[in-house]
Chains A and B, each alone.
Chain A
């Protein structure tokens, strides 16, 4: 019961954020579900995180207050006739849409069932050592008073890791009245379901219904995706936020709508507050977006979105950086001398990458998909968005290789411990690349026009 109440609270916050971004526009059901879950988990946890920085622990009053503020906002939007509208599903798309929904619900139920019985807090050490412990800590005390962040004995919990997922768990605990593990599991199931719905929305925008459903289900049903969703790791939400962030950047490059920059900033903030690598991922995505956006005014808009994103994450990151570090630092090895002396690591890293790509039981043929579709759908190369997606994928992959190159830990252990999760982070970009190229092979009937076209920048502007 408490899991249902927690889910409703997340969804209310999510719908409010989507309604504020869309302002009376029409959105598809899949996009609404995906964004509501993605932004709901981020918005509620982000709100509680900021309140905790101010000295307030998550409690029904604060979480309920955020929900009530959301409901009042929705009411105001309805009064002004600016509430978002749901797009009608064309009859031809209904069988594929229904199949997608059933497939996703079944997968989510399997994830929930395995998590409850066997997985969560039991399968991987990080689930309890990092996310579970932090969630309990932030639920019991405000950030500045929580002993976990100050005692060296807790350094196994990676004290400087971002805290959004810990606050998502704490937001669920609020409704149980205690840090009850079973209630926390709902967070991972919601993130998993949201990822599937958002993937279908992104694919359906450019593909026919059946190809969109098959591709989105393939992403959701990836064995590694389902297993990770059961085990209480932050990576499932990371995938959802990365998908939302990359889809928004792609749409902005194709349509130039400013609302996509808002989505980019919201999901970017969520990424940067979920895992440390999320911060670098957002930096890569943002830099590439700025580089590939044509015209001065659109570039200024990208910069403005970046500034808002930075302002949102700055208080949390400044606080995290104030925590004493007790672990070997990666940055101390980030110099030419160290990298030059360790180039022999590269062969090991590339072999491990190839081995992971070809591990059929985790990924099927997923990581060969971009190579195949890039050849079969070459017309997509004419669009800036496709270049952005490829550059983001290669940039993120290069960053992860660099991490291994400079790791202060034992390389073999580090690769073995983390490479599966890093590959999981790449799945949304592979998915969007597949959508981009497949849209040449089997396009949707028409690409809808943007609601409010931004003023086009002319060449003089760009100059």
Chain B
């Protein structure tokens, strides 16, 4: 690359440099200060640095549950009662997505006629368990029911149709 300077600008007036510097420092402060006020992220950062290992995250906990309940075959997932604190949609969907991820390429079914799952309403509550022929045909080895127990959301019932 040539070292010949072209388009060399005229020296900037001092006031311009001062204004630019003040502007940039103001910007930097406006970006850094919110980190201290951002309760969620800052707390997470500090916890990461200071706390002992918080253990497996939610995705890992779901994956561990499936190694216990359904090490092979597909799963039929049911939802019984969801948290009543306004988080029911998020809880159900995130558990379903994590279940699909955890056992992929095996499958998670929530209805006998599998369709698109986009919103929480696509995950029926207290869906009936299909008959034995359907379960066999779809290689369902475990029927898991999720719901609230002792104030926590998790597995409340499990059946193993093949056994």
Q: Closest B residue to A148 by CB, please name it.
A: B104
**A217 contacts across to B, CB distance below 8 A:** 28
Interface hits, B121-162 → A, CB 8 Å:
none
Chain A facing B: main interface SS: helix
Given A119-B44, A153-B114, A214-B28, A441 contacting B16 (CB threshold 8 A): yes
**A148-B104, A218-B27, A362-B34 as given contacts; A376 in contact with B20, CB under 8 Å:** yes
Quote the shortest CB–CB distance from B96 to chain A (angstroms). Answer: 8
A448 to B3 CA separation, bound complex (whole angstroms): 6
**Counting CB contacts under 8 A, is A301 at the interface?**
no
B6, B48, B108: residue with the most chain A Cβ atoms closer than 10 Å: B48
Q: A280 CB to closest chain B CB, in angstroms? A: 22
Q: A365 and B5 in contact (CB under 8 A), knowing A117-B54, A141-B105?
A: no
B100/A364 in contact, CB under 8 A? no
Bound-complex Cα distance A153 to B103 (A): 14
Indicate whether A304 reaches chain B with its CB closer than 8 angstroms: no
Decide if B118 touches A327 in the complex (CB within 8 Å): yes
Which residues of B lie under 8 Å from residue A222 when comparing CB positions? 31
Which residues of B (84-126) have their CB < 8 Å from a CB of A? 90, 93-94, 97-98, 100-101, 104-105, 107-109, 114-118
Does A35 sit at the interface, judged by CB under 8 A? no
Which listed segment binds B: A131-139, A190-198, A337-345? A131-139
Query: Does the CB pair A113–B114 fall under 8 Å?
Result: no
Given contacts A223-B41, A451-B2, contact A446 B33 (CB under 8 A): no
Whether the pair B31, A117 counts as a contact (CB closer than 8 A) is no
Cβ-defined partner of B45 (8 Å) among A87, A114, A154, A215: A114
Would you call B108 and A153 a contact (CB within 8 A)? yes
Q: Closest CB of chain B to A34's CB: distance in Å?
A: 17
**A373-B3 in contact given A217-B28, A223-B34, A361-B34 (Cβ < 8 Å):** no
Binary contact track A20-47/B, C-beta < 8 Å → 1, others 0? 0000011000000000000000000000
Q: Nearest-CB distance from A52 to chain B (Å)?
A: 15
Mark interface residues in B51-71 (1 if CB within 8 Å of A CB, else 0).
001100111100000000000
Whether the pair A447, B16 counts as a contact (CB closer than 8 A) is no
Q: Does A94 interact with chain B (Cβ within 8 Å)? A: no
User: In this assembly, does B19 line the interface, its C-beta being within 8 Å of a C-beta of chain A?
Assistant: yes
Is A128 close to B, CB under 8 A?
yes
Tell me whether A128 and B98 are in contact (CB under 8 A): yes
B19 pairs with A376, CB closer than 8 A = yes
Judged by a CB distance under 8 angstroms, whether B163 is at the interface is: no
Question: Do A121 and B27 have beta carbons less than 8 Å apart?
Answer: no
Contact (A447, B5) CB under 8 Å given A117-B47, A137-B104, A223-B35:
yes
B12 touches A132 (CB 8 A): no
How many chain-A residues does the 8 Å CB contact rule pick out? 68
Q: How far is the CA of A227 from the CA of B38 in the complex (A)?
A: 10
Those of A258-283 within 8 Å (CB) of chain B? none
Q: Which A residues lie within 8 Å of B32 (CB)? A: 221, 364
Closest residue of chain B to A451 (Cβ to Cβ) is: B1
Cross-chain contact of B6 among A117, A362, A447 (Cβ < 8 A)? A447
Query: When the two chains form their complex, are residues A221 and B1 in contact, meaning their CB atoms are under 8 A apart?
Result: no
Q: Is A92 an interface residue (CB 8 A)?
A: no
Report if A122-B58 is in contact (Cβ < 8 Å); known contacts: A110-B45, A129-B97, A132-B101: yes
B76 smallest CB distance to A (angstroms): 12
Q: Name which residue of chain B comes closest to A127, CB basis.
A: B59
A443 at the interface (CB under 8 A from B): yes
Is A223 within 8 A of B31, CB to CB? yes
Asked if A365 meets B26 with Cβ closer than 8 Å, knowing A153-B107, A153-B115, A448-B2, the reply is yes
List of A residues within 8 angstroms of B104 by Cβ: 133, 136-137, 140, 148
Residues facing A in B68-82 (CB within 8 A) are: none
- The answer to whether A226 touches B48, judged by C-beta atoms less than 8 angstroms apart, is no
A327→B48 CA distance, assembly (Å): 38
B108 surroundings in chain A (CB, below 8 A): 153
- Distance of A251 Cα from B44 Cα, bound (Å): 39
List the A side residues contacting B47 at CB < 8 Å: 117-118
Question: Distance (Å) between the CB of A409 and the closest chain B CB?
Answer: 9
Chain A residues near B34 (CB, 8 Å)? Answer: 223, 360-362, 364
The answer to whether B2 touches A449 (Cβ under 8 A) is yes
Q: Check if A151 is an interface residue, CB within 8 A of chain B.
A: yes
Instruction: Tell whether, in the assembled complex, residue B116 and residue A366 are in contact, meaning their CB atoms are under 8 Å apart.
Output: no
B43 and chain A: residue at smallest CB distance: A118
Q: Is the CB of A133 within 8 A of B23?
A: no
Task: Report Cα–Cα, A445/B1, bound state, in Å.
Answer: 17
Q: Which A residues fall within an 8 A CB radius of B?
A: 25-26, 87, 110, 113-114, 116-122, 125, 128-129, 132-133, 136-137, 140-141, 146-148, 151-156, 181, 211, 214-215, 217-218, 221-223, 226-227, 230, 326-327, 360-362, 364-366, 369, 372-373, 376, 438-443, 445-451
Pairs of residues from A and B, 3 with the lowest C-beta to C-beta distance, nearest first: A446-B5, A364-B30, A441-B20
